[in-house]
Structure 1
Amino acid sequence: MQCLWRKDMGRSSLIFLVTLLWPVKCAVIPTKQSLGSGSCRDFKQEFERTFSIPGEVVILECPLQMHHLFDPADTPYNVTWYDERTGSEISELEQSIMLKKTQVWFFNVTMQQNGKYTCVVRTVNKCYKQATGLVVTEMTSENCVRPQCGLQQIRAHVNDLLACPLRKYLKSVDSPSIQWYKNCKLLQEDKKFVPNKDMLNIRKVHLDDAGFYTCKMTFRLAGVIHEMAETIECEVKDEYLMKPRVIEPVNEIIKVERGSSFRKNCIVEVQGKGIPLVEVIWKDQLDFISQNTSHRVHQEPMNESQTVDGYRMERTLLLSAVSEEDFYLNFTCMAFSSRGHPTGQITLVPADPNLLLLLGLLLCSVALLFVTGVILCTTFKVELALWVRNVFPFLYQTTAGDGKQFDAYIAYPRVLEGSSENAEIFAMSTLPQVLEGQYGYKLFILGRDGLPGEAVVDVVQDALSRCRRLLLLYTASSLCSPEAQDWAEQQTGLYQVLVEDSMSVVLLELEEIHQPLRLPHTVRLLKDKQGALQAWKRRKRWAFWDRKSEERVNSLEPSARFWRELRYHMPIRGKAKERNWFSF
């Protein structure tokens, strides 16, 4: 680190040289003028001074910052130097002095030239001035250490370097070369010290490397060789921070779902002792990520903590909702420091489908479809079956050729007067109108289709042998009396069918039965086994789960659902013929 607030100048040869001024938009008045108060804007004396010893070359630089006062490139100006001791203008007519641009050179400086000098800059309308100090001190030390020297620090256990303070004059002279000395001993290039122009590289700095280092610049000016020197007091500081290291991320490819939130920490570690001057920041391929938390993509403030071995920095990248434009885009975490700029990178890609989730969704869908199908089939079983029969009759075998003449035998007791009136009206009128008139079924109704004079038992047995179904109609009183039971027993064929279950029987209940135990035993068993079609009630379609959602209707005008259920139990009139699989 170059020493601040000092300008130590090196020694030069004792050769006197006077050269011509090389003007660049400057004009120096060759005649001497006294430094009066005038109208110049005074910036007082600068704090920084120039130190030298007798016999050296000293360069004073005008302390005015002219680029802050006017534009030197477009504004004509001239520079004049004054000696505060005499108040007179400095010119090149004086011995061992040269004016060059904004500098004044003293060759072979003496103790008498110790003092304050003022630089005056004049434009067409303005005037500015500021003073600087020159301190000339005798050399009193025996180890070649100058009275005033700059201070620079280097760190132990690593490679570090010293900068020659004379480097700022390299462009002002011709053919400059620099040599390095430690305690007045010339340093040659070896494994420890590597001189490199205006820098001295010191490898694997040790505490013993502290001391006084001198850089001597040899240069040529107007054909004459000169020398300048500067001494540096070098301190070795046993505190050193290693190069930052990005722990996380390390070139990661991360799968993420669209629309989901995402956060990623960038973790940087710095080992060693000292003050870590490290800044961790996220950037994309175009620019640094915003720190505005209202943005969809932003980064949080950096957190810094101390660890056993050094320091830990952490900064979080946040995406409130991942969009399509974020995929395959590189997000880079950078650690800025004087010792390097390590980086870590992540790339977001669309996440693979979750097979377990898809399988679960599939199973749930299948289960839902199954439950829905069961509910629909349970609720609309009759409607579905009738629809399939109507649309695909070729799936069912035809009833032609099965030896049967009628689709159903209609049976109802006719015993007591008035007790079976509804049943007789329903059997003789309502059923034929619907089943025969609308749907084309063939019915055998006792009393309508039998021949006069035939015995009832013979008629029943013969008719039942020619029918595919038995429809038994009953009311609240028609089967609940002893006379009704005797009627059933008298019709031997009917009784045999009920007892032996040799034919499909459909019970048609025309009135509500309040005392079901009074029914004949065979009818009661059959009702418990397969149920009965109740023409006296109507269910509400969308309240099938509520068994109480029923209303009584006139049994002579049953609901449409009753007729659908009756058709469901009637024989299927298909179109497919029975095949003989053993014929060739």
Structure 2
Amino acid sequence: MTMMLVFFMFVTESATEKLCPLRASIDVLEGEYFFLCYPESRQEHFQEEAYTINWYKENAGKQQLIKETRGIVPQKNSLEFWPAELSDSGNYSVIHSNGKQNFTIQKWTLNVLERNKSSCFNKNHLTTEIKNAGTGHSLKCSDLSINENYSITWYKDCKNYENETGRELDFKTLTMQHSGIYTCKILISHEGKIYQSTNTIKLVVEEDAPEAVTLEIVGHNEEIETEIGKEEILNCTGFLGYYMQEDASLYWLINQTFPEKCSGIPENEPSICEEELKKLQLGNKFYVTRLLRIKKVTEEDMHHNFTCMLQADERTQIKIVKLKKGNTRDLPVHIFTTGMVLAVLLPCVAVAVVLVCVMFRVEVVLFYRNICRRDDTVGDGKEYDAFVSYLKDCISPTEEEREFALKILPMILEENFGYKLCIFERDVSPGGAVVDDIHSLIDRSRRLIVILSQNYVSNRAIYELESGLHKALVERKTKIILIEYMPISDYNFLPESLSLLPSKRVVKWKKDKSLPLNSRFWKNLRYLMPAKPTKINTKGHYSNLDLGSEGAQPQSEGCGFNAIV
């Protein structure tokens, strides 16, 4: 037993940088071998002094030290489960102590999923790989390093697949017949018992390979309406094709002159500066993007040519952006003139009004929309006011989130405020092509509402968010609204390209405090939704609505940001 664990620790430590899961939330199937670990590099600065490593599990809000049992074995840099059981779900942490101080090295939320008794895999515990017919590909079994007493068996749609026993399943030329759900099962011998660890991959082979493309700048030459003294951020995005070209360069010129680089320190920024180049991937397409920041637009800027240049493979594409004076849309001219007169005659009153408008900007805008009966939805060709994306492809620890997405949100926004929402499980008949349906529905929606929780990770949810990001960043057709349904301390599970949005808007749900129709939550959400005239009854309350005795009945199986508070 001791020799085997020493060997196992040696194999594990030799690849911890690659193998150790750094995600905040991890899913594993019940009855399978699993281990938590952290990269050895995280403890390098502890090597010069005597220290101890202890593993803890949160129990009733308190950290409880994990002691070795027959099923759970704590090691120096790993915590082994022989095997993982449903009761092992919870929050784990590993803590370093030198006798004087304690340091938390890493934390995890472990979700042990129930095994599907009628299938060789759990549909909530798989990854999806989309490939093109005619190309070669390899499916890789789990990177989990194990001792020498193991065997591997591959299955396709739960049937033994051609007696394959290798760690990789190679396809020299993919065809449509190769599409399916592949499961590799690793059998491990440990203390006279056999344990297993499975890895399931859904392989989707598309019939048509991507068309041959050349690099291009997204969008055409354009004129942007602005105002003197206003901050403007010019975004230039270049499409590189279906692989990242490392030699691609994207930069701005101002009348054939290179702008200064942004320093990252607001008070030291030049009046016009260029940010660092960012590379991003949306689906199977690769882009580069760079922002040009104009701190305050001047009269001189109105006469400049702001040129974006994309270069790769000895080819060059350009896009020219010009600024022009535009009219203020939110406030009519006579209201602005009256305000200026009042500011001159009554400066103290003007200052007070400005402070009130800043503090109650949401109420002011909503009041203005209601008085003017403003409607931003006329003639834009959109069918829905918002597409709702929420956690649905994995087991959720609570039904409250699904009730919020499927019942509370549509009941309030549709029945009380006149909006039309698109909810996939409610509005789309089953049997269609899910990816195509989602892409089309987001394209026909004015907003993408993303209901975030710590468990917002699934193939379809992330695809919906990435499609919305493509619409917001590249096509500029859809605006994204984030609803923080549960407090989130770490946004690292979201795509990095989300940081490229000009404004990161988050509305926080505060349970009972947010239930009344006239609460801050619904006001903030309406503020971010498109202006639309409607008769509003703000005396209602969610608890007074007829929801039925059993709560929400969804139709399908389910399982920093600058916040507006």
Please report the TM-score for the alignment, with normalisation by the length of structure 1. Answer: 0.32
Please report the TM-score for the alignment, with normalisation by the length of structure 2. Answer: 0.33
